[in-house]
Structure 1
Amino acid sequence: MPKKLHIVNGNAFGDKLRASGIDGDILVWRESLCEGPIGIQMSDSVLLSMRAAYMNNRHGIPKEMFKSTTLQQEKALDKPAEDVDEIVLWFEHDLYDQLMLCYLLTRLFALPNPSFKLSLLSINQFPGVEFFHGLGQLNVNQITQLHDKWLPVSEDQLLLACKVWMAYSASEPLLMATLLEEDLSALPFLQKALEANFERYPSMQNGLNTIQQLILEFIGDGEVLVLSLFKKVSQTASQYGLGDLQYWTIVDSIRKCEAPLVHLTGGDKLPSYSEALPPQFEKWRLHRTDMGKLVHTCELDHLYLNGIDDWIGGVHLLGKKDIWRRNSISTGFVKM
């Protein structure tokens, strides 16, 4: 009997898909490719150590656990079970998933003499779900309706995915800027996802990325509950598909710096990997500092004040000057 392998993002959806009675095995992909240093081959030992250190520093993920999980996943891609005759990829429309999809298509396309078909189910809505942000929202009955709705992956999709991963892995963002001017319709959700990636770069006007700017904007001149801010930013910037740990890191990027732009009351440490929410976390609040107000209105520049040490794909943004920034007028990049 033909056998399928379903590759999905996230344990929650993986468990529901399994409970839906789907035919085949399920591989849950546990990697956040929109964070940390990126390369063509993610199992490269040097790159893997760099990523493990990044994830440990940012989120408290144990280094050895991160390495072992990554290597197990990569091994599953290197040699799918010999009796698998179809691999089905289940991925959503947001940046988080689209980057993962491009990487997986690139890896599977590069395998010598594959003996399996490659199929894709990628959606950005579901009937009856008013605000669709992910497959994990769906219940088992709804997921059952998606059985056998996947479509064969075309050569155009494979070639585009490879092109995207090559550009995203590059040490400069110029290839990505070129991509944004090309026809990306072979993967219909890719255009908006890559536009969201563009918005992750610091602005020429004040050195903030789009989510940092949103945080300052939503706080305004008062105080905002940390959890309500997370919900509002998540809904407004749903095209990113980032989770709570990523948002706490973004808050800390403008909080725990030389000249803080926001101040936290109620506690000092935002949650890390596998940590429960702190006591009375629902009462913790953020407000803008005077410096935050001046940066928000572009009277001061966040990077000139605080610098940056972060990665967007293969691009390392490091220091206070000569940093790649986005030019919103031309959807290009400049160093300043």
Structure 2
Amino acid sequence: MSQRPVTSTTDGRLNLEQQRKRAKELLPRLKIQDPSATLSQAQWQVARQLGFSSWPKLKAHVDALDFAAGHPDFHASDEARTTHWRCGNDIAHSLQLAGFKDQFRMLADPLCMGPVRDLPKEDFRALRSAFISQAFALNPADAARRIADEYAQLESLATAEHSVLWCEADAYDQLFLIRALAGLEQLPKKLELIEVDRIPGVERFIGIGQLAPDVLAWLWPQRRLINEHAVQLAKQAWAAYCDSSPVTLAKLAHGKHPALPFLAPALLRLLQELPGIRDGLSLTERLALTYIAEVGPVPFGRVYAELMARREPLPFLGDMMFHAVLRPLIDGEQPLLTESQADRDWPQRVLALTPLGHAVLNGRAYWLDHASQERWLGGVCLKPRQPHWAMDDRHQPVRRD
């Protein structure tokens, strides 16, 4: 007999009384299978389904969350000189609600998209602002101003009294992390990192921005000091990401790095945005096309939701970023997708595969033989109908002529 799953939270909140009620509801179903089943066994199953090894571990975690929520100033406020850094503004308000009263800064540049090259400061900022303006249809002056302001603020990291970087394990955050650390000539007085790849009780952890304020307060004591090893590793990784060849990046992606333990998986996921050796699709493109092929014509926003909820192995794209990633598949001279109901906002527009889209997805055609736009992965430029780097079945970069 199948058991009804115990639904996990999405924001990290857990109510112990609610879990006790679920255990009591589960017990009669367990007794059908085993008349000797006890409430303790039901509680153990509830705990396991929420990601805990035992009921006491679940209870201890809920107690810790309750303490953090009930004592918002116990550590959260810290000294007034603390600056909290993030790769977007998704936790700015929640930090205030949790009791953090310090400065908040962000570097929202989506470094996982577009050209990222080793250039002098002003040239680099001009490169990034031009890409952001084009990809997201922003006013060029506004994009340039935002990039200039964010990177100017990032320079203050080197001299700040106390800074804390809030990161998760995905490519967007890990690139923000290595960019921030790579710019340091020496370690600041006190630089700390809060880094997380999962939250107890959250079945599908997408990012810190989904967490409740009291969960942020619970994370605060788990911060750790950034050491010199982490800074040097970040410099190596950043240089490899800016390189026109992905070979060094792949070596880092297939290694283990205790100083920044989430870096290698994020880099490996990034490398999967190189064209696949058989179809020329990035993993994001392949996942999207596969879903559209399975369900037929489907709204743009539902494709994004499906990838984030189930198919994307390490979610790193925001909704507007995902939209920008798929535009070349729609707007090219030989598109892989059609977009109908264009008078609606883009999430409501309906996508369907073209015959070429089906052919590419099935490996009977190669996307870069038909694409109209060049694409970048860091410093690697991918030009249609020209020799380029691709990803083989072993997740290693190879040249494709």
Common fold by TM > 0.5: yes
Aligned residue runs from structure 1 range 256-295, under 5 A: 256-267=331-342, 277=345, 282=348, 284-295=349-360
Q: Secondary structure at the match of 1:33?
A: coil
- More relative contact order in 1 or in 2 (CA 8 Å, sep 6+)? 1
Give the TM-score of the pair, scaled to structure 2: 0.75
**How far off is 1:238 after superposition?**
5.0
Q: Secondary structure at the match of 1:27?
A: strand
**How far off is 1:89 after superposition?**
0.6
Q: Which deviates more from structure 2 when the two are superposed, residues 318-327 or residues 206-215?
A: 318-327
Structure 1 residues 7 and 262: alpha-carbon distance in aligned structure 2, compared to 1, 3 A threshold: same
2:151 equivalent to 1:86? no
Q: Secondary structure at the match of 1:31?
A: coil
2:83 equivalent to 1:8? no
**How far, CA to CA, are the matches of 2:158 and 2:374 in structure 1?**
40
Matching residue's letter, 2:125: L
The match for 2:40 is: none
Q: Secondary structure at the match of 2:374?
A: strand
Identify the match of residue 371 of structure 2 among 291, 306, 315.
306
**How far off is 1:102 after superposition?**
0.7
Bigger helix fraction: 2
Identify the match of residue 31 of structure 1 among 94, 103, 109.
109
**How far off is 1:57 after superposition?**
1.5
Contact 1:2 1:85 in 2 (8 A): no
Matching residue's letter, 1:94: D
Identify the match of residue 65 of structure 1 among 142, 145, 148.
142
The match for 1:230 is: 304
Contact 2:272 2:395 in 1 (8 A): no
Listed as ranges, the gaps of 5+ residues in structure 2 are: 1-78
Contact 1:171 1:316 in 2 (8 A): yes
The match for 2:394 is: 329
**How far off is 1:59 after superposition?**
0.8
The match for 1:317 is: 382
Structure 1 residues 32 and 119: alpha-carbon distance in aligned structure 2, compared to 1, 3 A threshold: same
Q: How many residues align?
A: 321
Q: Secondary structure at the match of 1:254?
A: helix
**How far off is 1:243 after superposition?**
0.7
**How far, CA to CA, are the matches of 1:240 and 1:98 in structure 2?**
12
Q: Secondary structure at the match of 1:133?
A: coil
**How far, CA to CA, are the matches of 1:224 and 1:76 in structure 2?**
42
Give CA deviations for 1:49-85 in whole Å, capped at 9, x if unaligned: 2222221221112222222222222222323596x42
Aligned residue runs from structure 1 range 38-117, under 5 A: 38-40=116-118, 44-80=121-157, 84-108=160-184, 110-111=185-186, 115-117=188-190
**How far, CA to CA, are the matches of 1:319 and 1:253 in structure 2?**
12
**How far, CA to CA, are the matches of 1:189 and 1:81 in structure 2?**
23
What root-mean-square deviation, in Å, do the aligned CA atoms of Structure 1 and Structure 2 show?
A: 2.2
Identify the match of residue 297 of structure 1 among 352, 362, 369.
362
Give CA deviations for 1:258-280 in whole Å, capped at 9, x if unaligned: 211111121168xxxxxxx36xx
Listed as ranges, the gaps of 5+ residues in structure 1 are: 270-276
**How far off is 1:177 after superposition?**
2.0
Structure 1 residues 184 and 261: alpha-carbon distance in aligned structure 2, compared to 1, 3 A threshold: same
Q: Secondary structure at the match of 1:212?
A: helix
Give the TM-score of the pair, scaled to structure 1: 0.88
**How far off is 1:312 after superposition?**
0.8
**How far, CA to CA, are the matches of 2:229 and 2:158 in structure 1?**
26
Bigger strand fraction: 1
Structure 1 residues 171 and 81: alpha-carbon distance in aligned structure 2, compared to 1, 3 A threshold: closer
